[in-house]
Amino acid sequence: MTDPAAVADVRSPLSDGEWHRLHPLTPVLRGGLFLVVVLGIVITNLRDRIIGWLFPAVADLERYEADPVDYVVSNNLILLALVAVLAVLLLLLGGFWLSWRFHTLRITGDDVEVRSGILFRTHRRAPLDRVQGVNLTRPMVARLLGAAKLEVVGAGLDSNVKLEYLSTTNAEALRADILRLASGRQLARASDAAGSVPRGRAAVATVSAALTGLIDGAEQPVAEPASVVHIPPGRLIGSRLLSGSTLWLLVVVAAIIVGSVVGTPWVLFTLVPAALGFAAYWFRTITRALRYSIAPTPSGVRITFGLFTTITETLPPGRVHAFEIRQPLLWRGCGWWSIRVNRLSGRSANDAQSQQFADVLPVGTRDDVERVLRLFLPGISAAQWQELVVHGLLGPHDESDPYVTTPRRAWWLRPLSWRRNGVLLTPDAILLRRGLIWRSLVILPLARLQSVALSQGPIGRSQKAATLTGHTVAGQVPGAVGALDRDAAVAVWQRAARAVIAAAASDRSHRWDAAPPASPAPIAIATTDQEEGRA
């Protein structure tokens, strides 16, 4: 009988350390938009001629005097024109074929490598020990053909390695191999387990799989692990309507209406583009968050989202540097929260896709927040959850609040939130609590912190107040809280500096498979009926 563990530790054929080619339809999928644009230009230029051919009775022959098609027909150059068109098509097909031939990938025990280019060659490499995650994207057209693209997220800016495109089956297998190799596990080659496959036969199998995907359409959906959070569509739509952008839209509409009443009525026409712009924004944000799921896997936390273009990202353990749990003012009556993170994504922090990948929970209840945080922080004890949820999200409640807050003498620095504004050092993280109207709680894992700083400006010095800052990778989550009591903040800073060094020395998350797994509390899986009842 075959050992299941041994089978799981065998590499897929594409990760055997040899160079392999990608999906044969890759040039078409990558350059398809260019072909559509060219076809549109041709059809636009030949529009009148096509109408004349289809409807001779309404054709206006005078408009064809300078028409190149009319010139070709009148000079009996039809055969030459067809040969020229055929030559262009052959050149395009030859370019696509050469592009596919020169576009190869290799996965070794240390790196993920991609070579591409015909005249100008590029060679990109992502070290496995620096992999921050693996994203699998299925655009709508590629999904219909059973194809997907992988993006190996590196640690530096513009360090991501893209494998586009692969069959969905190969993409899933490669993602699993990359994450297992990044964990430190040694995988046996498929050739050692089941005999080697000749290179020619492997190429034939690749082309055959591409033709099968082209004929049969999308492949069978890959079995996804059960999501611990379910977001009803009504809640998702409501959260987008009850957002800051909606408030700005109402302000703009009110200003336009007042301006039209007082002055010129034509200002009302400016409502049309504003409404269309906001409608497009809402539609885009809602469709991106639909089909959301988040679940634990042996290789990390798996997050899937997107209606038309489905994106599945896997975050290995220890790759999240900061968490922020937020509750906007308009969400408070519904009890909704959201979670965003700081992580290395290979993109600028201001990039639109970087902001999209920062949201690990678009909207959810307090129970959903706890489920998601338990996936990323499995070692937090029950007492620490009390400090995080009861005192952190909803506090302070009474004098037993464990957070170091703004002193009464400096209340005017935080006139609304001086009682809530605070910091707490736990054995595993620094908690930063901010905001009374817009609540937020920032969690900075000690093992991921780069440094801890304490600063004091002239105003803070006069009030004996200071600002504590935890430095992490650049992202959407701010790591500072100000107007703290100076003496208490100094004590927290000193203890935090020692704790960060100790946590970094004992951290083994970059090779998580070699470390003993934590024993998290069981995570309840939300059912559709329960979530719809809370929505």
Q: What angle (nearest 5°) sits at the alpha carbon of residue 375, between those of residues 372 and 377? A: 105
Are both 66 and 152 inside the same structural domain?
yes
Are both 283 and 319 inside the same structural domain?
no
Convert the pLDDT of each residue in 352-399 to its tens digit. Answer: 666 777 889 999 999 999 899 988 888 777 777 877 888 888 888 777
Are both 504 and 398 inside the same structural domain?
yes
Number of domains in the chain: 3
- Residue 531, in any domain of the structure: no
Are both 275 and 200 inside the same structural domain?
no
Distance, in Å, from the CA atom of 403 to the CA atom of 419, rounded to the nearest integer, reads 10
Convert the pLDDT of each residue in 292-348 to its tens digit. Answer: 999 988 888 889 888 888 888 888 877 889 999 999 988 998 999 999 999 887 666
Convert the pLDDT of each residue in 74-107 to its tens digit. Answer: 677 778 878 887 888 788 778 888 888 888 889 8
Are both 278 and 168 inside the same structural domain?
no
Are both 165 and 283 inside the same structural domain?
no
Are both 95 and 164 inside the same structural domain?
yes
**HSE-CB for 111 with a 13 A CA cutoff:** 13
- Residue 532, in any domain of the structure: no
Assess contact for 347 and 475: CB atoms under 8 A. no
In this structure, what DSSP letter does residue 243 have? Answer: S
Are both 132 and 66 inside the same structural domain?
yes
The last residue of one of the domains, among 287, 307, 324, is 287
- Name the pLDDT band for 521 (thresholds 50, 70, 90): very low
**Closest C-alpha to 404, from 426, 389, 384, 427:** 426
- Residue 535, in any domain of the structure: no
The last residue of one of the domains, among 191, 216, 241, is 216
Are both 88 and 140 inside the same structural domain?
yes
List, in order, residues 6 or more apart from 471 with CB less than 8 Å away.
449, 450, 451, 452, 453, 479
- Residue 401, in any domain of the structure: yes
Are both 442 and 381 inside the same structural domain?
yes
Query: What was the pLDDT predicted at 25?
Result: 81
Are both 240 and 208 inside the same structural domain?
no
- Residue 211, in any domain of the structure: yes
Are both 403 and 449 inside the same structural domain?
yes
- Residue 176, in any domain of the structure: yes
Q: Which amino acid is at 492?
A: V
- For residues 5-29, average pLDDT: 74
List, in order, residues 6 or more apart from 52 with CB less than 8 Å away.
59, 60, 61, 64
- Residue 226, in any domain of the structure: no
Its pTM stands at 0.78
Structural domain boundaries, residue 89? 4-216
Q: Which residue is it, tokens 């979530």?
A: 531
**Is residue 221 over pLDDT 60?**
no
- Residue 302, in any domain of the structure: yes
Percent of the chain topping pLDDT 70: 74
